[in-house]
Each structure stands twice: as C-alpha cells, then as structure tokens.
Structure 1
Amino acid sequence: MMDWIRIQCLVFVLNVCVRTGNLQEAPPNIRNQNLEAEKKLSEYVNVIIEHYKQTEPVGIPGAPIPDPLSIPPMNQSFSIGRMNFKDVELYGLKKFKIDHVVADVAAMKVEAALVIDKLDIVGNYTLNTWFSSAKGNFTVKLTHVFIKAMATLEVQRNGSLEAQAIDMDITFKEMAMDFKGLGFFASMFQGVVNSVGSFMFDSIKPFILSEANSNVRNDINKQVSKLPQKFPNSISPFDELVAEARKKVRALGYDPFKIADYNNSVGVFDVYLMHTWLYGLSSFHRTKDIVFEIRNNTVHALLEVGTQKLLGTTHWEISLITELLTRVGTASFSVEYIGVQINASQAMDTRKPPSLDDIQLELGNIQMRFDGLGTADYLIEFGVNVLPNLIRYQIMDAIERPIKLKIQEELDKINVEEFIRTNSEKLDDPNALADLSNFL
C-alpha cells in the first residue's frame, strides 16, 4: 500500500512537471514564469499544494495557458454580403475547474473533463453588403463550457514512453452576442448576426484543439523523455512494477506463508487446523484495470489483483466434544485463486489523510485431498463437506484482517503533504530522476 501512495504522489509531481511546459503561443511573461518554475520545481509543487487547499480551486497557478488566446482573422460570406473579423481574442481559458479525471494506469490512458463557467470572444468586425456597410467591436459569450480530452502513452521500440495524439472536444450550453455599430441594420441583419456566433465557435474550435493537441503532447513528451527507465513494449510499465513487487514478496519471506492455527466447533465435533502453509501468494498479478479517478477534489484509486492457483498443506484433528473419538491426519489442498480489490482515496487538499474506503477478498474453489480419516463413513463425509469451508475461513481470517490492518497502519503513518514536499525537492537536482526506483 505504501507503494500505491508513492506512485500517487509521483503522478502528482510528474503532473506538475508537465504543467510547467511551454506553449508555443504563450506570451513572453508566461514563458519567463515557466523558466523560473523549471529552475525550482519544488517551489512550484508547494504552490500547487497550497492551491488545492482552497474549497473550489480554479485553474492551476502558472499553467502555460495563454489567456487571452489570439485567434487568426476570419471571414464569413452571406447571400447579401460578407463579414470580416480581426483582432479576435479568447478570454477565460485559465479559469477551468476539474470535473473529473480518470486514469487507467495499466493501459496508460487518461480521460479528463474540465468545465469553464464563461468564455468571452472579443474583437472587431466589418460588415459589407451591396448597398451599405458597418463596423465596430463585438463580444460573444459562451457559458457552461465543457472540455473533454483523452490521452494515451505508448512504449516505443527503444523502450521510451511517448504521448500519442490527444482526442479533444469542446461544447457549450448557451451563447450570447453583442455587436456594436450595427445601428438600424441590427434588426435587418438579425438573421445574419444570429448565425455568426455558431460560425465563430465552429471556426475557433479546430484552432484551439489543434494548438492544445500539439503543444500539450509536446510538453508531455518533453517531460516523459527525462525518465531514465526503459520499458518493455510487451507489458505495461505498471505491470512491470507488479512483477518487481512479486520479487519483493518472495524476498520478505511471504511465500510460502504460514497461516495461524485455527479451531472451531461444528455440531458435535471440535476441529483443529494446525501447521497450515500456503504456497503461491507471490503469483499475484493485475486482474483488472488500475484506475485513478479525480472527482470533487478527491483522488480515488481502484486496485484489483489476483493470484494464480495456490497449493497448501495442513494438519487436522477432529474429535467428538465428549472426546470419545478422535481422528488426526494431514491434508493437501488447492485454492483456485485469491482476489483482492482495494478502494482508497486521498483529498487534493493534502492536509487531509488518505483513507481506505473498502477492501474485498475473494477465494476461488477449494479442493482437498485427505490422509488419516479412517474408514468411518460419517468422518469421511464430514471431512469432504466441512473441512474445505473451514480452510476457507482460516485463510480469510489469516489474510483479510491483516491486510486491512496493515494498509490502514501504513496510511496512518503517511503525511501526504510532507511526503510530496520532501520528494519534490529531488526535482531540483538534474540527476534526481536517475534513481526513480528508490523513489517508488
């Protein structure tokens, strides 16, 4: 679980790195701010931490988003004339709020949705018809703007990561327009003017998406290229981390795993299971997509792993409660799989601690082979029908509660804000990323 928190913090820090990249269209003052941020990334991380302590954070401090964004000149022809637009600028791109972000870590895909309360398009126009003309400034207000983007990373043949084309779209709910200088033509050309807003949005939209796609992709690749690790293109980088975690489980002596002794009463029988060993816990692997989701300024993580077929052995003792009859023996068993699903969350306000929201443990079918039951039919039937369920309870008791306690114990130890601040200082060292494995 500590690794999950560290990965989450690393994603946060790398996200900061990406956002300090330069947009080609950014004005000089924004570029200068970005250069300063690259010189001292730890200071920028601190700014981000403070930003997300707000109740409703808007935008991201220092984000290289030009505001206003200059739009190239446009023109539109009508049956009765022509309109030209120049000095057009778009205001409000920086004032976005995060609606949601869903990151599939294993598949290296991210879907993000942003909302902007209002975008203003301002500029100058000229209207020329066969019998008159008009000119002036104009304003188009778009409200309830929704921006959705899907981005992916892929492993290249040389083992490096590279961002692919970003699929983006922009929509809005309402539009209001105000054209100055139309005079008495306002009512005459009302139908023309009404179509201008849609034309303008349809014209500006490809320009914004193209600029964002190209520049954001370049910024991501610029930052990802700094990672010293090379990844195999046969498995995802996250699955490679899982493979390393399997080695650590074996190194720590958790495979084979000794399960605590267990006793229970079933009807008139007392049952004891002792010296139970489970083999194969280190065979765990990702069984579903690893998903990080940001909603309501909280990061939610869903992690699900499962093992391959497990084998085990146990010593058993069955006796009547009156102890008039006792049987002992050994048994070997197999567990089809063990699956663990973990739901955890962390508020973007790093003053709040991480939380284990839920954990589910699932055991597959258990089959047993007995030795020592004797020839008594009722004992054979008892062993075949009851002992597999008792083994299931024994394994659940031995694994589920300790996992919950261990995860919560690790979460209670973590001061997320301090952890991020401490490790962000490594980004000021040009050689800091050379030992990414120690960071994880």
Structure 2
Amino acid sequence: MIKRTLVFVLLFGLVCCEEDVAPPQAEAQNPTLQGQKKLSENIMSILEHYKQEDPVGLPGAPIPDPMDIPEFSHSFSVGRMNFKNVKMYGLKRFKIDHISVDVNALKVEAELVIDKLDVRGNYTLSTWLSRSAGPYTVKLTDVDIVAIARLEVIRNGSLEAQEIDMDIRFKDIAMDFQNLGFFANMFQGMMNSVGTIVFDSIKPFVLAEANTNIRNDVNKEVRKIPKTFPNSISPLDDVMHEIRKKVRGMGMDPYKIPDYNNSVGVFDIFLTHTWLYGLGSFHRTKDVKFEFRNRTIRALLEVGTGTIKGTSNWEISLVAGIVTRSGSVAFSVDYIRSQINISQSLAEDVPPSLDDIQVELGNIQIRFDGLGTVDYAIEFGVNVLPNLLRYQIMDALETPIKMKIQEALDQVNMNKIIHENAEKLDNMKIEELQNL
C-alpha cells in the first residue's frame, strides 16, 4: 500500500511531463506509447533531476520556451503603441516552491518561482508629433506563479480536469525600448507604465494557453484509468471501502489484544482474552494530503473508527495473591483515530521515513459481569479499569502499527521499484492500471 502510494504521487506529477519522443516502431507496437516518452524513463529522469542541489525546471515538461505571443496594441492620450514579434523567454527556468495535493478533494495547489522572465519584440509608437519603432525588452524578476487545479467525477463515473485557477505576479520590472529618441523624455510618465502594460496585455494569453494545455494533458492521462467512480462519494472514499473489505477478509476484525498486567498500589491486575470488535469500520476522518517542498514528498493521513465494542477477562490479586477476585467486562470505545506522517526524500536514495504517528482513543465505558456483591472490586473497576484498558489498547495498537509501517517503509526503494516494474509502467495496460 505504501509503495503504491509513493509511486502514485510521482505519477501524479508526471501528467504534464511527456515528450513527443516515441519512435514510430514503438507507436505501432504499443498504442499507449503514441506521442510520449516511456513512463519509467520519465520517472527516473525526475528522480535524478531532484538529486541536484538546486533543480531548475522539470525534465520533459512541454513548456514552449520561448513562447510566441500574438500581436497586441495599446492606446494612450498622445498616441498608440503596437507590439509584434513578441516572445517570452525563461518559462522553462521555473523552480517548484511547493505542491500540495488534497486527495479527497482531488485538488492540487502549486507555486512556482522564476528568477527572471524576458519579453522581447518590436514596437511601433505613433503620436500626433511623429513616429518611432524598434526592438524592446521587458524584464520581470522574482516571478511567482500560483495554480489551483481540480478533478471531478463526471456523470459517466470517469474523472475530468476542471478549469484551472492561475495567476502570475512579479516583484520588479525593467524595460529597454530602443530608438525612442526624444520620446523617452517627452513622454516619460507614459513610458514608465509601458512595461506593466506589456505584462498585463500578455498575461491573459499566457494563462489561457497554460490552462488549456494542462487540462488537455491531464484529461488525456485520466482517461486511461479504467476504474469508474460513483459521483456520490469521493474516489478516495471508494478506495477506502475496498480496503475495509480486505481488512475484514484478513481476519483482523475482531482483533485479539495481547494480555496485560500491571500493579496499582497493593493490587495486581491481569487483563486477558481482550477482543476488539469493529476495527474494520475505519474511515477517513480528515483529508489525505501530500506536499512536495524542498525536494521531499510528505504525506499526512488520518483514519478513524466509529464506536468500538470489546470484552475482556479481569483478575484482581491482593496481598500477594491471598485475596483474588475475577470476572469479565464488556466495554465500548467512542472512537479510535490514527494520524500518520510519512516523508520521502527525492534528493537521496533513502527509504521513506515515518516522521510521526499518533493514536487517540475516545472515552471508554465499561459494564461488569460476575462481580456479585458491592465491594472493593466494583470501586476499583469504576475508577481504575478504564485507564488500564486504555493502556492495553494503546500498547497493542500504537507500537505494532508503528513497527509495521516502518518495516514496510524500509523495504521501499523507489529506483528498484521503478526498474522492476518498468515494463508494466511503459505498457500501461488495463490490468496493470487496475492493480496500481
């Protein structure tokens, strides 16, 4: 499960990173490779890319550089300026500040930064006095690009990318218009605003092109997914339903907890044959989120249950076993929740790391059987036993969960996984996708 999740995150980031490099022979033999680079090669190139100290761009990203901008013009009180042969340079020189993925909402938020963008072209300035023309350059520095993309389940149950919200901002702007002559001084106030006018004029085109291209690339990829989803629940919750069935099929509900003993004052307490019923009813209690920042993928997952029922046998020993009482107890736990934080560095060939795990139990209520008359055992049970059950359940769940997760993470070698599954990834057949 963890291996597949980490591979999924990498695949998610590859949607817009395909190149038109497949040879005709490969296209003929495997239609799924038409017009695209091998997926395994793409993943490996990205892993190698992020081992660099300061990675710039993304291998195979289909970003035109330079980008051709249509001609545009702007009118002033003193005349009119026309711009043609406009090109924007530097779009491929982006750096990923962070990417956040909300899996439940099928939403991706990304922020990219570019040190410098250049807009170059030719201008013509016509006024009531005269006319000038020549080349120009507008330099934008500390450029910030923010995008929010969403997938939705449409009527037929497949996924489809929706409109992408994007914006481009910059910190500083500088410009150089050649052959202005005396216009540079005469219309200084007007010329001071020309750089911003150029940016505002090309911004809608750049955003529209990016929106269309990204949506088309995303939809091309999600159409390959053979599974359909009900539009009444999120795809993630549909997957959780499948996992619950597997957990029950593995015989983990009911779940037997190891025996427990402890001392409280002069009492020795033993809890044996403790069973929990209902662990297989777990569900997502918060949105599952992934974040990519500083060449590291971080995942946050929280799952929980509804009310859990349980039974246990208890024995109380007093004065070194001279006085003993025993019986059984039925109890309920309002909920059990587990929050897991995992990180995977792309900068080094190291396994994923379990950064933190928290297990939380709700209120415990108990009901005794077999006590008989009211005596010290009832008082003990009401005041002490709920906390002892809490310790027993926590010890039985938190440590094994942590160990199992870390054991699984230690076996994850991203490069090895990709190499071993390269053929499956490259063929992208229906059955492989279903398994993925």
The answer to whether structure 1 residue 325 and structure 2 residue 323 are counterparts is yes
Please tell me whether the aligned partners of residues 37 and 44 of structure 1 are also in contact (alpha carbons under 8 angstroms).
Answer: no
Letter in 1 for 2:433: L
Structure 2 counterpart SS, 1:19: coil
TM-score, structure 1 as length reference: 0.93
- Correspondence for 2:126: 128
DSSP 3-state at the match of 1:229? coil
- Name the counterpart of 1:116: 114
**What's the counterpart of residue 431 of structure 2?**
434
Map 1:3-402 to 2 at 5 A.
3-20=1-18, 38-349=36-347, 351-402=349-400
* Identity value in percent: 63
One-letter identity of the residue aligned with 1:149: A
How far the C-alpha of 1:350 sits from its partner, in A, is: 5.5
Q: Distance in 1 between matches of 2:366 and 2:38?
A: 61
Alpha-carbon offset, residue 231 of structure 1: 1.0
Give distance in 1, aligned partners of 2:73 and 2:410.
61
Moved over 6 A (4+): none
Q: Post-superposition shift, 1:84?
A: 0.9
Q: Which moved more, 1:123-132 or 1:420-429?
A: 420-429
Alignment check: 8 A CA contact 1:17 1:41 kept: no
| Aligned-pair CA distance for 1:374 | 3.2
CA distance in 2 between counterparts of 1:120 and 1:224 reads 34
Q: Distance in 2 between the 1:58 and 1:425 partners?
A: 29
Structure 1 Cα separation of the partners of residues 422 and 141 of structure 2: 37
Report deviation, 1:131: 1.3
C-alpha displacement of 1:37: 6.5
Any conservation in 2 of the 1:13–1:420 contact (CA below 8 Å)? Answer: no
* Partners of 1:104 and 1:289 within 8 A in 2: yes
Q: How many residues align?
A: 425
Distance 2:316 2:97 in 1: 59
- CA shift, 1:126, in A, is 1.1
Looking at structure 1, the residues matched to 349 and 252 of structure 2 have their Cα atoms a distance apart, in angstroms, of 34
Query: In structure 1, the residue corresponding to 2:13 is in which secondary structure?
Result: helix
> Residue 94 of structure 1 aligns to a residue in which SS?
helix
2:24 corresponds in structure 1 to none
Q: Greater CA deviation, 7-16 or 397-406?
A: 7-16
Closer, same or farther: CA 119–258 of 1 in aligned 2, 3 Å: same
Give the Cα–Cα distance (whole angstroms) in 2 for the partners of residues 165 and 316 of structure 1: 60
Q: Which runs of 5+ in 1 are unaligned?
A: 23-34
C-alpha contact (below 8 Å) 1:68/1:90 kept by paired residues = yes
3-state secondary structure, aligned to 1:120: strand
Amino acid of the structure 2 residue aligned with 1:334: S
Question: Counterparts of 1:386 and 1:137 in 2: how far apart (Å)?
Answer: 84
User: 1-side partners of 2:319 and 2:88: how far apart?
Assistant: 83
Tell me which moved more, 35-44 or 364-373: 35-44
CA displacement, residues 309-337 of structure 1 (integer Å, 9 cap, x when unaligned): 11111000001133231101011111111
Unaligned runs of 5+ in 2: 21-32
Q: Distance in 2 between matches of 1:242 and 1:120?
A: 48
Of 216-225 and 230-239, deviating more is 230-239
Give the Cα–Cα distance (whole angstroms) in 1 for the partners of residues 223 and 35 of structure 2.
18
Shift of 1:83: 1.0
